[in-house]
Amino acid sequence: MTVYEKRLVFPEGEEQEISHRLTLNTIVDHNGFPLPLPLPTVRLLAYQVSGIKTVEERGVETTYYRLEQLNADELRAYV
């Protein structure tokens, strides 16, 4: 039996388990949920999925979603 885990990896190295899959370049909030586009403002905490890595060990398959925090200038493209 294989257990599947999905984890966010924040820029500081902290990890958070999530229950859903993400795709590369998705803009998400601090809980890993995709943000609806267009964004209402550039004044929010948003991350972009910049990498995906899957590791399998002893019946546990873990998918890591590496996040990159976006600044206000980068978010303007999504407003």
- Rounded Cα gap, residues 64 and 61, in angstroms: 10
Q: What share of the chain is helix, strand, coil (3-state, %, to 5)?
A: 10, 45, 45
Q: What is the pLDDT along the chain (79 residues), one digit of tens a residue?
A: 899 999 999 999 999 999 999 999 999 999 999 999 999 999 999 999 999 999 999 999 999 999 999 999 999 999 9
Amino acid at 77: A
pTM listed for this prediction: 0.93
What stretches of the chain show up as alpha helix (H) in DSSP? 72-75
